[in-house]
């Protein structure tokens, strides 16, 4: 299934994308697409709903983040071998973890707003993993059983804030609008091999990132095993899993960063496409 949330920010309704790409309203079957409704039992019940029996949503409504009331927004850094190479960084021994503030979360096509003083805002297409049931100390072998589904995330980053303001990467990752999530949550049964998904990102129509989840240093299952050994993961937690090469800071001979009016378009195979226009804070 492809599950969505649509409508005005803060007042989104649950929906489903049918086989023809038509948005259908799910309000009669579930209150929201959030942690309380991501368990196997609820998803199984929703899978039995016939899409053509659901009301069609007319027009072109805004899509919100595909998961509501996200609990933890956990991010893994330097998790693609080819991206680590372009930045000159050593391959990490363990997954690098940082957090993105929930106030960064926006819909997949909402504007990305650069904060005051930003000169180094960058793009990062990433695979998002949505936890469907509580897990602690899970093994790599059964880790994917705890996943509700997958989505596209743009881990927008202000590199100066991230590396020069002293402290953790979170400073450059948590600015408002720096976490576009969606367009939809694709349930795990529809993703045959999460470690073989093509991904790309364009800026103003120019291809900047091309990659595949098969170059991850730590697989999705290994990441869940590692994180669940550190903390309990709850339904509705989102994990972003790193980005392939082609980020602005890695461009030679001079890095390239976003500016007002730029348009980012990013896609992961089978998970949909995001499109954001860049603005700046007044």
Domains plus CATH for the chain? Answer: 2-53 (no CATH), 73-280 (3.90.850.10)
What pLDDT sits at residue 54?
Answer: 97
- 226 closest CA partner among 148, 166, 136, 146: 136
What pLDDT sits at residue 82?
Answer: 82
Helices (H), the chain: 40-47, 81-87, 159-164, 170-173, 220-228
Q: What whole-number distance in Å separates Cα of residue 214 and Cα of residue 141? A: 18
Q: What whole-number distance in Å separates Cα of residue 259 and Cα of residue 201? A: 16
Residue 87 reports pLDDT greater than 80: no
Model confidence at 84, pLDDT cuts 50, 70, 90, reads confident
Q: Model-level pTM?
A: 0.96
Q: What whole-number distance in Å separates Cα of residue 87 and Cα of residue 163? A: 13
Structure tokens at 56: 């069609």
Structure tokens at 230: 């550190």
Q: Is 238 exposed, middle or buried (0-12, 13-18, 19+ CB in 10 A)?
A: buried
- 276 closest CA partner among 77, 125, 170: 125
What pLDDT sits at residue 67?
Answer: 98
What pLDDT sits at residue 164?
Answer: 79
Please state the length of the chain.
Answer: 282
Residue 239 reports pLDDT greater than 80: yes
112-114, strands of its sheet edge to edge: 112-114, 272-280, 263-268, 198-203, 206-212
Residue whose pair of structure tokens reads 């089978």 in the numeric block: 270
Q: What is the mean pLDDT of residues 197-205?
A: 98
Is there a contact between 38 and 150 (Cβ–Cβ < 8 Å)? no
What pLDDT sits at residue 160?
Answer: 82
């Amino acid at each position: 299934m492809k599950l969505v949330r649509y409508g005005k920010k803060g007042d989104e309704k649950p929906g489903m994308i049918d086989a023809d790409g038509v948005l259908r309203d799910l309000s009669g079957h579930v209150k929201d697409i959030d942690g309380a409704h991501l368990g196997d039992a609820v998803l199984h019940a929703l899978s039995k709903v016939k899409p053509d029996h659901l009301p069609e949503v007319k027009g072109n409504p805004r899509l919100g983040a595909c998961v509501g009331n996200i609990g933890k927004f956990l991010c893994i850094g330097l998790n693609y071998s080819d991206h680590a190479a372009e930045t000159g960084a050593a391959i990490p021994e363990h997954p690098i973890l940082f957090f993105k503030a929930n106030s960064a979360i926006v819909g997949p096509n909402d504007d990305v707003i650069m904060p005051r003083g930003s000169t180094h805002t960058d793009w990062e297409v990433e695979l998002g993993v949505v936890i469907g049931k509580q897990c602690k100390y899970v093994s790599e072998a059964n880790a994917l059983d705890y996943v509700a589904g997958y989505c596209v995330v743009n881990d927008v980053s202000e590199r100066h804030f991230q590396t020069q303001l002293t402290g953790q990467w979170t400073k450059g990752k948590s600015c408002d609008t720096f976490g576009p999530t969606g367009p939809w949550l694709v349930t795990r049964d529809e993703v045959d091999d999460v470690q073989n998904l093509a991904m790309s990102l364009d800026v103003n129509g120019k291809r900047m990132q091309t990659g595949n989840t098969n170059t991850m240093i730590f697989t999705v299952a290994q990441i869940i095993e590692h994180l669940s050994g550190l903390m309990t993961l709850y339904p509705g937690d989102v994990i972003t899993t790193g980005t392939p090469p082609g980020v602005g800071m890695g461009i030679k001979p001079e890095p390239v960063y976003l500016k007002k009016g730029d348009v980012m378009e990013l896609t992961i195979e089978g998970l949909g496409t995001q499109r954001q226009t860049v603005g700046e804070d007044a």
